[in-house]
Amino acid sequence: MTDLATARAAGRPRQIIAAARVLLEAEGPEALTMRRLADRVGVKAPSLYKHFPDKSSVVAALATEMLRETAGVLAAAEAAAPGSFSALATAYRTYALAHPHLYLLTMGRTLPATGAADAAAAPLFRAAGGDEDRARAAWAFAHGMVVLELNGRFPPGADLSAAWEAGIAAFTAGPAG
């Protein structure tokens, strides 16, 4: 194999995941099939299986990518406003709303066993003063609000900004007594 062929082969999984993400974000999870993905990459579907054994492994790679990106977004929010749950919640919501299909696909399944999930959780854990239960409750609030918002589960005209602010205030008022 030539150096160029080796480089192309090494980049193929990245190309497949990039194509899967474009397909997912443009058309939703129903469009994410191995056949459609192969068409987008410009190969026959069986060629995908050289890099990913099945669709669930493509989804796991997308989930890992989303968690890494979320970790980066939250780390940036933490750097800009250390210890601020408000900054973290706002960054989390903004990212999720910008990538709804990727967010729902990732968070609607068991998270991959990578360090990405821990890295994404670390800023919230620090903002909660190291209190795991408080951090989990804060994440449950943010995640629940995002999922309900993305699924259109709030009544028409509901003031979601006010609901977010009320939830944030509940977690920034100090430890529960």
pLDDT on residue 96: 96
Q: What is the pLDDT of residues 68-82, one digit of tens each?
A: 999 999 999 999 999
Positive or negative, the CA dihedral 72, 77, 80, 84 is negative
Measured distance CA(134)–CA(128) in Å, rounded: 6
Residue 125's nearest CA partner among 80, 117, 104 is 117
The SS3 call for residue 159 is: coil
Provide the sign of the torsion angle of the four alpha carbons 46, 52, 56, 61, taken in this order: negative
The answer on pLDDT for 129 being more than 70 is yes
> What is the C-alpha separation between 163 and 176, in angstroms, rounded?
19
114-120: average pLDDT: 86
Express each pLDDT in 132-163 by its tens digit: 999 999 999 999 999 999 999 999 999 999 99
DSSP 10-54: HHHHHHHHHHHHHHHHHH-GGG--HHHHHHHHTS-HHHHTTT-SS
pTM of the predicted protein model: 0.86
